[in-house]
Structure 1
Amino acid sequence: MKDNLNLLVVGSGGREHAIAKKLLESSHVEHVYVAPGNIGMESEGISTVAIEETDFDALKGFVYDHGIEWTFVGPEDALCAGIVDSFRKDGLKIFGPDKEAARLEGSKDFALEFMEKHHVPTAKYSTFRSSEDAISGLEKFEEPVVIKADGLAGGKGVVIAKTKAEAEEEIKTMFRKGQEQIVLEEFLSGDEYSMFVVIGEEDYRILPMAQDHKRAYDRDEGPNTGGMGAYSPLPQLSESDYERMVEEVVEPTINGLRKAEFNYIGLIYIGMILTGQGPKVIEYNVRLGDPETQVVLPRIDSDFAELVDAAINGNPLPEVKQTENAVIGVVLAAEGYPKSPVKGHKLPELEESGDISIDYANVAGEFPNVTANGGRLLTAIATAETIEDAQQKIYRYLEEHEFDKCFYRKDIGYKATGKRF
């Protein structure tokens, strides 16, 4: 791997903040730019670039002008829009799957067909192109029913309808809002787990496991969100269940990607439910997740930039070493999130220390005087020897600050510790 590298990360949220920080840890990396980034990143030696994620020509121009070695794509929108195809057409190195492979996230129906074809365990499902057909199709499913918008929805396109009557209303609403296709799925019972896999030309590496908390409020109540917090490692996940995940889910997924001949040099997120029958996939994402990235990357005790560089250049992937420490991240969201978050209110100055860090997302202003500029504003992250210690540390830290017109869950990590704050 070369030295003194200039790298570009595409994206603007907490995930991209965490990625840029991790890449900067490498002895091979001189500078990391993030386009468009956010104001909170600039406090840590990360340069933000005022170019939108889907302005491919401007991004490529920046790469040429600034001697960028390779580009790391954070968000799904750019991947599904074909940023990898555009860069590779011009001979530029980039980390992420091409547009065809990105359909694994861009279309729920496409992903489910892929799983079915390649024998990846998942839920029973049916796809519908009209409200009438979907409502008729409800008779095939028991309550509760999972309803998914087929396209990208920022983690908010899934509804778990407790009754058939509620499902009917949700179906009508989705089609009324312009959905051309929806998917109905059986509800899977069990704990949900997040697995991230780096895929090279010939091999793959699994990153530390995490568990996300998707519901807006404590005790897993309220609407689905893009994620309200996460933690790693997972003491409740047995070694035998982990091995089943690798054997029954990861390996057939990777084999399926090879057989489909996708141009897939990048990351895949596999969201799984550990059911009584074993692990079953509920979704694929074609990139790192948010807020899991903020707790997974700090647990990597090897050079993440070397891993990405090897994948991009077709070299054997180095092993991924993990720290023994535990990491927990709690998302601070604006009041009204996920439907109508308020904006413009000032956030308190948040001090960082060796074991407390902040990854910023939807914020504006001038650091450290930042204001809310969207739904999920930042992730506060604590590192400690155990999940229990990290959980106590992060909530003690958050309780020391007053947050106006904001909220956060007070039970992130409870499935590992049994504790709520």
Structure 2
Amino acid sequence: MTQQQNVLVVGEGGREFAIAKKLQESTHVQQVYCAPGNVGMESVGIQQVDIAENDFPRLIDFAKTHEIAWTFVGPEDSLVEGIVDEFHAAGLKIYGPTARAAQLEGSKDYALNFMDHYGVPTAKHHGYRDQTAALKGLDEFGFPLVIKENGLAGGKGVVIVRDRAEAVRTVEEMFANGQSRLVLEECLVGPEYSLFLALSNGHYRILPMAQDHKRAYDGDRGPNTGGMGAYSPLPQLAKNDYQRMIDEVVKPTVQGLVAGNYHYHGILYIGLIMTVAGPKVIEYNVRLGDPETQVILPRLTTDLYELVDAALKDEPLPEIQVSEQATFGVVVAAEGYPQKPVHGQPLVKLPAMDGVVIDYANVKGDLNHLRGAGGRLLMVLSMADSLQVAHDQVYQYLDQRHLQQCYYRHDIGSKAGL
């Protein structure tokens, strides 16, 4: 057997919990470190590192002194700020796109221009750099209309407006809050899907599909969040629709990355909507999604270390092998999330039991005395022979517990008929 390696995961949330846990399962791995991580990671043997995810000099020093084979970047902020470029300059291996490629998430306008240039189907759209032009541009669109902040917004910088008065108010508020650019987009109608590619320059593998639930409350009501629950696989996705996604979206996207000399080594998340005219891209993200990662990676039977290692060495990527079992997860969030989440609430001890596991995110304290640290606190997950069984196990588990100053959606999976 080859020598086991140390790897580093950058980030601190539920997504990074799932990535680190999956890497820790590999026979090639000695120890997974996570910077800054969260205290819940101790429950699965992940070692926290007290370094902020944007403190690149200290992360580089840690990678050198701890003989890190390579680093896996979780959050988009670090990628957009250029962590990959900094690691490359230091002679270190790191899995993620460069700052230039990360603009596909860092700027909505940049991503839409990329789609236009390389023939990737998307919504009718236009970017604006000032309020006067944006208000005048409203006349080019009907309602409902999608208004997006151009930069990173943690999945929450999107507003769907129903009429002109609401549109004017939203545009004025976005510019008043410091936006230097925003995008107006045609409102597409249809089911949404999350598709993830593991890329090595022009070569790629498609990870299992997942369904996210962005709105805060049951019935897809309330403000957009980072995601309130997910499941995989997707029984409602027809095979021919999936093939159209590959042919009409994935292939021209990858061809564009090659033609544009992006040298993309990392994850590309494609947010899709299946319209009556076919699949269209809502957005690109340049990393794994949260909470989709937590339901995708448990189904992946391919060794994640081997997949990433091959990509970084520009070797042939291993075939993706996926379990026939289904995974289902519900996010427990702090009361008041996403606008004003409560902090510091005590979290009752949540043991893994009856096919249920916990992926921790925004928590502090220690494993026996956990407290909420705002936002999405944790995810309750189940893996079972069917989505229905996994769904029932998660909700039975949650229904038996009193979670103080917390909330969760009760209808995750409804789009799959659960």
* Residue equivalent to 2:294: 294
* Residue equivalent to 1:176: 176
SS of residue paired to 1:101: helix
Partner Cα separation in structure 1 for residue 33 and residue 189 of structure 2: 42
Partner Cα separation in structure 1 for residue 202 and residue 275 of structure 2: 31
Partner Cα separation in structure 1 for residue 31 and residue 333 of structure 2: 30
Deviation string for 1:27-55 (max 9, x for gaps)? 11110000000000012110000000010
Post-superposition offset of 1:3: 3.1
Post-superposition offset of 1:139: 1.0
Report if aligned partners of 2:146, 2:185 keep a CA contact under 8 Å in 1.
Answer: yes
The answer on 1:212 being equivalent to 2:206 is no
* Residue equivalent to 2:252: 252
SS of residue paired to 1:166: helix
Deviation string for 1:288-338 (max 9, x for gaps)? 000000000001011111001000111100001000011011111101110
* Residue equivalent to 1:324: 324
Deviation string for 1:205-243 (max 9, x for gaps)? 000000100000001000011100110000010111100
The answer on 1:198 being equivalent to 2:195 is no
Report if aligned partners of 1:24, 1:32 keep a CA contact under 8 Å in 2.
Answer: yes
Deviation string for 1:135-185 (max 9, x for gaps)? 111111111110000000000001111222111111111111000000000
The answer on 1:88 being equivalent to 2:95 is no
* Residue equivalent to 1:103: 103
* Residue equivalent to 1:147: 147
The answer on 1:19 being equivalent to 2:19 is yes
Partner Cα separation in structure 1 for residue 166 and residue 225 of structure 2: 19
Report if aligned partners of 1:231, 1:295 keep a CA contact under 8 Å in 2.
Answer: yes
SS of residue paired to 2:296: helix
* Residue equivalent to 1:164: 164
* Residue equivalent to 1:403: 403
* Residue equivalent to 2:116: 116
CA change 1:202–1:167 in 2 (3 A) is closer
Partner Cα separation in structure 1 for residue 249 and residue 240 of structure 2: 14
Partner Cα separation in structure 2 for residue 348 and residue 169 of structure 1: 42
The answer on 1:370 being equivalent to 2:343 is no
Post-superposition offset of 1:2: 4.6
Partner Cα separation in structure 2 for residue 73 and residue 366 of structure 1: 25
SS of residue paired to 2:350: coil
Report if aligned partners of 2:201, 2:263 keep a CA contact under 8 Å in 1.
Answer: no
* Residue equivalent to 2:133: 133
Q: Percent identity?
A: 57
Post-superposition offset of 1:368: 2.6
SS of residue paired to 1:254: helix
The answer on 1:47 being equivalent to 2:47 is yes
One-letter code aligned to 2:315 = N
Deviation string for 1:179-207 (max 9, x for gaps)? 00000000000000000000013410000
Partner Cα separation in structure 2 for residue 138 and residue 333 of structure 1: 35
Q: Choose 238-247 or 132-141, whichever is displaced more.
A: 132-141
Show structure 2 runs of 5+ residues with no match.
none
One-letter code aligned to 2:330 = V
SS of residue paired to 2:146: strand
* Residue equivalent to 1:262: 262
Deviation string for 1:359-389 (max 9, x for gaps)? 1111111113110101111111111111111
SS of residue paired to 2:99: coil
One-letter code aligned to 2:194 = S
Partner Cα separation in structure 1 for residue 236 and residue 115 of structure 2: 27
Partner Cα separation in structure 1 for residue 166 and residue 322 of structure 2: 44
Aligned pairs for 1:273-352 (under 5 A) are 273-352=273-352
Post-superposition offset of 1:354: 6.3
Partner Cα separation in structure 1 for residue 230 and residue 168 of structure 2: 32
SS of residue paired to 1:237: coil
CA change 1:384–1:315 in 2 (3 A) is same
CA change 1:202–1:412 in 2 (3 A) is same
Report if aligned partners of 1:123, 1:280 keep a CA contact under 8 Å in 2.
Answer: yes
Partner Cα separation in structure 1 for residue 342 and residue 132 of structure 2: 36
Partner Cα separation in structure 1 for residue 355 and residue 281 of structure 2: 33
Report if aligned partners of 1:202, 1:316 keep a CA contact under 8 Å in 2.
Answer: no
- The TM-score normalised by the length of structure 2 is 0.99
CA change 1:136–1:368 in 2 (3 A) is same
Partner Cα separation in structure 2 for residue 108 and residue 202 of structure 1: 23
Partner Cα separation in structure 1 for residue 131 and residue 381 of structure 2: 42
SS of residue paired to 1:256: helix
Partner Cα separation in structure 2 for residue 93 and residue 275 of structure 1: 40
Partner Cα separation in structure 2 for residue 173 and residue 103 of structure 1: 24
One-letter code aligned to 2:214 = K
Large movers: runs of 4+ above 4 Å: none
Partner Cα separation in structure 1 for residue 215 and residue 201 of structure 2: 36
Q: How many residues align?
A: 418
Partner Cα separation in structure 2 for residue 354 and residue 404 of structure 1: 23
Report if aligned partners of 1:272, 1:282 keep a CA contact under 8 Å in 2.
Answer: yes
SS of residue paired to 2:305: helix
Report if aligned partners of 2:202, 2:257 keep a CA contact under 8 Å in 1.
Answer: no
SS of residue paired to 1:100: helix
